[in-house]
Amino acid sequence: MREVKFDMLFSRRGALVMLAGACLAGRLMGKRSDSAAKAWLDAQDLRRLVPSFSVPSRERLLRSLNNRALRGQLPAAEVEGIGRAERKQVEALMVDLLPVAQLYARPPISSYRVGAVARGASGSLYWGANLEVPRQPLGYCVHAEQAAVANAFLHDEAGLVALAINAAPCGHCRQFLNELPNAPDLAVLIANHPPATMAALLPAAFGPSNLGMRERLFGGKSFDLELAPSPEEDLTRAALKAACQSYAPYSRSPSGIALRSLAGRTYAGSYIENAAFNPSLPPLQAALVSLIMGGEEPGDITAAVLVEVEDAPISQASAARDALGALAPAVTLRRVPARWKR
C-alpha cells in the first residue's frame, strides 16, 4: 500500500458531494415524522447518493439502511454481494458509500457533515458520522471516526481493518484510532486520494504501550461489576452490561448508559478510553451513536440510566447530565452506582 500525507481536506468534487449530502439529509430529516418511521430512505434518495450503483445493488443497500435493527451495520453478506455486483473491491465500495454515512451527521454548531465507513474483521461495514451537542463545550462532540469505531464496538465486532472518511482525520481522531491493536496497519481511505496507513498519519505515536498497557480496544476484556440489589428493570440491566463491556484500562472507571426512546427501543453505550485521555468517548455519546444509527433522534429519548463504579477516579454523571439536558431536556438522568464483584 502506498503511503501519503493528506494536506488537502477536500477536492472540489468532494465539497460538492458533501453539499449535496447535506441538502438531502436536511430534506430527509424534515420528512421524518416520528420514531416508528416507515423507511427513512427511498430509491430516489439512494440514486442521488450512489448514482454509479446498479438498481439491484441500490435495492440491497436500501433494505439494510431501512432495517433499524441493524443500527448502522451493513452485514458482510450484503457487502460481498454488492461488491460482486458492482465489480468493486471493498475499499472502493467504502469510499463510494461515504455520502450515505454523511446522512447520519448531526452538526448543529458547525453545519459541517463528516461521514465514515469502518470495515470490521468480520467483513461487515459500519456507518459513522459527526455529532455535535448544542450549547455545550466542543469536547462533547463526537467525530465521525469515533462514531464508526463505537458503532463497530457496540456490535461486538472483533476489530477493524480499514476506515474510509470524506476528510483527512484530525489529530484527535488519529490519537483515538491509535488505541486499536493493529493501529499502524489500519488502512485509511479518502476519496480522490491514495490510501494511507495510520503509521504514516501518526508518526512517533503515543499509545497504550507508553503507559505500560497491553490491553487494546476490541480486545474482548470485560469488567466484573454488579449492582446491589440486582437490577429488575431492563434499562438498568442494559446500562450495567454496557459498563461491564467498557474499555477503560487507564482510569479503571468503567461506565455504561442505556437510553429508552419513544418507540420503546433501548440503546446502550459503553465508555471507550484513550491513552491520551481527552479523545476518550463518554458512554452517553456512544449510546447516541447507536440511537442515531437506529433511525431515531436525541429528542426521542424518554429515559436514561447511567451505571458507573462508586468512588471511581472519574465520573461521567455531570457531563452526561449537561449533554442530555441540551438534547432531551425533559429527561432526567438516573445514576446507579455499581461495585466490583466480590
Please calculate the CA angle 262-264-269 and round it to the nearest 5 degrees: 95
Residues 6+ apart with CB under 8 A from 186: 160, 161, 162, 163, 177, 180, 197, 198
**For 121-145, how does the pLDDT look when each residue is reduced to its tens digit (9 = 90+)?**
999 999 999 999 999 999 999 999 9
**For 59-82, how does the pLDDT look when each residue is reduced to its tens digit (9 = 90+)?**
999 999 999 999 999 999 999 999
The pLDDT of residue 290: 98
Query: Phi then psi for 277, rounded to 5 degrees?
Result: 70, -65
The pLDDT of residue 39: 58
Count Cβ atoms below 10 Å from residue 181 Cβ, excluding itself. Answer: 16
Residues 6+ apart with CB under 8 A from 272: 146, 149, 150, 153, 179, 217, 246, 247, 280, 281, 286
Element (H, E) at 190: strand 187-190
More confident residue, 237 or 35: 237
**For 85-111, how does the pLDDT look when each residue is reduced to its tens digit (9 = 90+)?**
999 999 999 999 999 999 999 999 999
Domains and CATH numbers, the chain: 12-211 (3.40.140.10), 225-340 (3.40.140.10)
> What are the cell numbers at 8?
488537502
Query: Phi then psi for 104, rounded to 5 degrees?
Result: -85, -5
pTM, rounded to two decimals? 0.90
**For 36-50, how does the pLDDT look when each residue is reduced to its tens digit (9 = 90+)?**
334 578 899 999 999
Q: Which residues of 203-219 are buried (b: 16+ CB within 10 A; e: fewer)?
A: eebebbeeeeeeebbbe
The pLDDT of residue 241: 97
Residue 31 has pLDDT above 60, yes or no: no
Residue 262 has pLDDT above 90, yes or no: yes
Say if residues 164 and 98 touch (Cβ distance below 8 Å): yes
Q: Catalytic site residues?
A: 145
Query: Phi then psi for 312, rounded to 5 degrees?
Result: -70, 160
Residue 231 has pLDDT above 60, yes or no: yes
> What are the cell numbers at 202?
501518526
DSSP 8-state code for residue 332: P
> What are the cell numbers at 215?
490491553
The pLDDT of residue 24: 55
